[in-house]
Chain A
Amino acid sequence: GDSVTQTEGLVTLTEGLPVMLNCTYQTIYSNPFLFWYVQHLNESPRLLLKSFTDNKRTEHQGFHATLHKSSSSFHLQKSSAQLSDSALYYCALSLTGGLSGKLTFGEGTQVTVIS
């Protein structure tokens, strides 16, 4: 079945330094939709950004990601981490052409930004 892999479970960053969270996926379908959701402490997950287009950069709230179908990757990046970026980040996969909108989530990366 479909799967999403986030290799880092816990990441500690220093404020002002760049952020990169890894996400790779597996699916037999050629047109997946990839998402990043963010969950701050004691809150519920919310959409950060999403992409369908191969090799096109998507940006939102200072974060960006590019879907690379050749490597089945959708890494999340930010040029300069802020304390408020401390949160749990989920990469997720959806398949186009279906009514359900089901998401397959990775295990999540817990990010802590320190000063």
Chain B
Amino acid sequence: EAAVTQSPRNKVAVTGGKVTLSCNQTNNHNNMYWYRQDTGHGLRLIHYSYGAGSTEKGDIPDGYKASRPSQENFSLILELATPSQTSVYFCASGDRDWGGASEQYFGPGTRLTVL
């Protein structure tokens, strides 16, 4: 069974503060992803990674940075948090698959509130 964990599960931050969301996977998957989930927008890709040391911009990267220091860990960083970044954030992992059929396994999510 795929195992993706996230920490913290809940976070309250102040506007202008720095927030780091962490993700760990024990699946030995090459690819990892960060999404945010908002009603009316679905799941939107923020950043993704092909492997340790790589980060790529997704569809909505503005205001976010990512870091992939190892195969297992992928962090999302909000340097200057804003109330518009209040959301639920999901991390996911998946195999590298030329066919495009790879399933993504999601973590439990982090609920972030920026006041």
Contact = CB atoms under 8 A, between A and B. Distances in A.
Co-assembled chains A and B: yes
A78 interface: no
Interface stretch (B14-22, B64-72, B73-81, B100-108): B100-108
**Binding site secondary structure of chain B:** loop
Contact of B99 (A9, A90, A96): A96
A90 B43 contact: yes
A113 B39 CA distance: 20
Interface residues of B, number: 30
Q: Quick one: which of A33, A52, A94, A102 has the most chain B CB within 10 A?
A: A102
Interface of B: 31, 33, 40-45, 48, 50, 56, 58-59, 90, 94-109
A104 B48 CA distance: 13
A106 B41 CA distance: 8
A105 interface: yes
Interface in A61-115: 90, 92, 94-108
Task: Point out which of A94, A98, A101 has the most chain B C-beta atoms below 10 A from its C-beta.
Answer: A101
Contacts of A90: 42-43
Interface residues of A, number: 28
B42 A50 contact: no
B42 A97 contact: no
Contacts of B48: 100, 102
A103 B45 contact: yes
